[in-house]
Amino acid sequence: MQNGRIAVPSMLEGGLDGKRSGHFGHCDTFTLIDVKDGTIEKVSTINNETHVQGGCMVPVNLLASNKVNALIVGGIGMRPLMGFRQVGIDVYHDDQRPEIRPVVEDLIAGKLTMIQDNQVCGGGGGQV
């Protein structure tokens, strides 16, 4: 990814040196990384908005309204994944590393793949 805005679900205050949240719907904040010509230009954070079971579109709309182009998740359910696809946000998958910086650098370098339907979480039971 050479240009655009990347979002990473983050724990606590987030930031490039923060830790990722294992599942995007329950993160504390989203770390937003602006990339220009393959270089990190700006890093900011926004608070996640609370949503109840079945309210999966709340974070989708939040990130879309903040002009996000790509999202890196460790886990996501099918409903929000479909929502991100509908608003034109590409969703990439990395469930191995909890640090934000290396997964962002991998996405910029083209090393992450988009999440496939068989990698989504089942949803329900708090897993939204």
- Nearest alpha-carbon partner for 34 in 104, 87, 94: 104
d(CA 78, CA 1): 24
Q: pTM for this structure?
A: 0.88
Domain positions in the chain: 4-119
Q: pLDDT tens-digit profile of 17-44?
A: 999 987 777 788 999 999 999 999 999 9
Q: What are phi and psi of 127, to 5 degrees?
A: -100, 50
Q: Taking 70 as the threshold, does the pLDDT of residue 122 lie above it?
A: no
- The CA-CA-CA angle for residues 30, 15, 51, to 5°, reads 20
Q: Sign of torsion, CA 118 99 63 61?
A: positive
Q: Tell me the three state secondary structure of residue 50.
A: coil
Q: Reply yes or no on domain 4-119 having CATH 3.30.420.130.
A: yes
